[in-house]
Copies of this chain bind each other. A is one copy, B any other.
Amino acid sequence: MLDEFFSPRSVAVVGVSREEGKVGHYIFDNLLGAGFPGAVYPVNPKAADVHGHVCYPSVADIPDPVDLAIIVVPAGAVSGVIEECGQRGISAVIVISAGFKETGPAGAALEREMLATAAQYGIRILGPNCLGLISTSSSLNASFAPSMPEQGTIAFMSQSGALGTAVLDWAAGEGIGLSRFVSLGNKADVSEVDLVRAWTEDPDTSVVAAYLEAVSDGRAFVEAASALSRTKPIIALKAGGSDAGARAVSSHTGSLAGSEQAYDAAFRKAGVIRARSVLELFDFAVGFARQPLPEGPGLVILTNAGGPAILATDACERSGVGLASLEPETITALREALPAAAALYNPVDVLGDAPPERYEVAGSILAKDPNVRAILVILTPQAMTLAADTARAVVRLSQSSGLPVFASFMGKGAIAEAIPVLRDGLVPQFDFPERAVATLAAMLQHRRQLDAPPTLPPIIEADTQVVREAIDHAQAAGRTFITEQSAARIAAAYGIPVPAGGIAKDLGAARLLAAEVGYPVVLKIASPDILHKSDIGGIRVDIQSEEELDEAYDDIIRSVRARMEDAHIWGVTVQRMLEPGREVIIGVNRDPQFGPLLMFGLGGIYVEVMKDVTFRLCPVTTEEARAMLSEIRGFGLLRGARGQRPADLDAVIDTIVRISALVTDFPEITELDINPLIVADKGAGAVAADIRIGIGG
């Protein structure tokens, strides 16, 4: 996919310039400088030749077939050039030119015109307002970035061209190779989703790194990234997560940033590993690109100094990277091989005077331990340290062990000769050990994702007709919410338990219903006009007898009438009073980018004050629902803390997946809250005490 972009046989540059300092000049220079082996055709009606290449007045004048056109003409002229490209049979176009949507309504109109023209001919467009792209395996630099990266297996896309330039320059300095670099620009057509799809099948790419400010089509991104992450790691740095950052995004590209929770849930669902900085993005990418994936947890730290090993151990603790517990045979072998003062337990300290051989022998002993799944070699430059030779030993260890091996050679001048040795030997080197640990944590996350069997949300048998009718009825009545009674019927249709009861039109009916469901009961006003019942005295709980019922019924009607004279009153809902239990909340909000986002948390103050909640994109699988429970800080309260019996976790999980099915089946549901779901002890179920459902067009 997108092959014409990454492996074209011939390239035209429309708007090439002979004038230094012009983008059209840089682009053509870069194209030639990178040694692109195919044909290149500069296009400029005012020039006869550029750098010895014949210049064509227009695309139409190029005699041979062209796979890819790079357009650098002013925004107003772009549509015309695309028309020519279409007539010439060119199907891939990069629009470098700025002056489109990012400049306001007039530019946005130009962008729409350009897209319409492209659509007529089935042309795919990268950009506009972008830096271009680089494909190292094709020796193609179709960008005005000043540096061409080494060939490698990391594909990197950037929604910020300038950040892309900086990263390319930095990567070149660090010797980090890339397979592809793409500046996304305004994403008028080719988006991150297209790139994720293309790179899933790309044999030159082993890991995908992305700098994103917003995702164009959330659901498509999740689907594409999910497919990619089952074969290759994908790492994303999402900017604009904060409120302040979100403001900066909107003023930057005119696109709206989705909410932080939705992105987090989307990345989680899609198996996207989240980086928190550009440095992390590339640390992770380099780790994936250069080292095998660990089989599982079990890091051993091999060091010539205690202090940095403690820092690494602290970092392991913080990021949940487990240290390997060494086998007794390993300890014995280390004891025989190392000086008496060496520390034999993990971290293994081969002492400050360690020559390369001591690192090597310890490393080979450790690599044989079945509990060791990754090795971090720390070196501090001490008086007798031979950094470069030790680096060679580390490279041999990496090659012979088959394990992921990382280096943290600390210092600068004293370890300078070791750096290229490690780089050429494909051992990731980090100036401080914490970075190595964070990288291993990312690789372990990918390992866990690969190891988890793929699951689908369970199929929920439901009476969808009930829901259809309730929604139609509410819409016909012009309401944006479902009445309490209908909501209870909807829940029941999806197998979610609701309290026994019903609507009573008068006191007599209320008495009958109460006798039927059994005391104690709860009474609530039933009216399509009243959403917040308790605010106007519309709820009475713990009614123990018929006398209390009579009094409560009168009270409610009088109180509601007094405050909302004109409300249409259907009667009073009579419900069996629920046994007290642990209260949780399950809610759904429809995110504009990613669709229904399901929230779970403990009810009441835990949500409102402690904000102890967690999110997943719908549809939610049973495994995801189970994970949600354990993610909240207050999970102990459900599992049974302080001598309480465990709550019915399975009933909560069941309710989550049923709610997820409901909102997935009915996109009209824009929001839904079960607050609270009252959860009884294990085996005794859960009941949705209150359900609110909002609907949209």
Interface residues of A (CB under 8 A from B): 21, 23, 26, 103, 144, 146-147, 158-163, 165-167, 169-170, 172-174, 211, 213, 237, 239-245, 248-249, 251-253, 277-279, 304-311, 313-314, 316-318, 323, 341, 343, 345, 347, 352, 380-384, 410-416, 431-432, 434, 604-605, 608-612, 633-637, 641-642
Contact = CB atoms under 8 A, between A and B. Distances in A.
Contacts of A163: 305, 307-308, 311, 380, 410
B160 A306 contact: yes
Given A240-B310, A278-B311, A609-B633, 12 more contacts: A21-B384, A147-B413, A160-B310, A161-B352, A162-B304, A166-B381, A167-B411, A169-B414, A241-B314, A242-B314, A245-B313, A611-B633
A387 B379 CA distance: 34
Contact of A411 (B173, B311, B635): B173
A413 B173 contact: yes
A165 B382 contact: yes
Contacts of A381: 146, 165-166, 169
The 3 closest A-B pairs by CB, nearest first: A173-B412, A160-B307, A162-B305
A287 B207 CA distance: 36
Contact of A279 (B144, B159, B244, B432): B432
Contact of A311 (B169, B277, B314): B277
Contacts of A279: 431-432
A175 B346 CA distance: 34
A162 B308 contact: yes
Nearest to A352: B162
Contact of A306 (B172, B252, B314, B608): B252
Contacts of A160: 305-308, 310
Nearest to A638: B609
7 contacts: A158-B307, A160-B305, A161-B305, A162-B306, A163-B307, A239-B307, A605-B636
A144 B383 contact: yes
A411 B162 CA distance: 10
Kindly report how many copies of this chain are found in the complex they form together: 2
Contact of A170 (B103, B248, B341, B431): B431
A410 B635 CA distance: 43
A604 B414 CA distance: 55
Contacts of A158: 307
A500 to B, nearest CB: 29
A400 B162 CA distance: 29
A419 to B, nearest CB: 11
A497 to B, nearest CB: 26
Contacts of A380: 162-163, 165-166
A213 B412 contact: no
Contact of A248 (B162, B306, B410): B306
A582 to B, nearest CB: 11
A614 B36 CA distance: 62
Contacts of A239: 307, 310-311, 314
B411 A165 contact: yes
A637 B610 CA distance: 9
Contacts of A278: 311, 410, 432
Given A341-B103, A431-B279, A162 B307 contact: yes
Nearest to A322: B244
Contacts of A347: 248
Contact of A244 (B174, B316, B431): B316
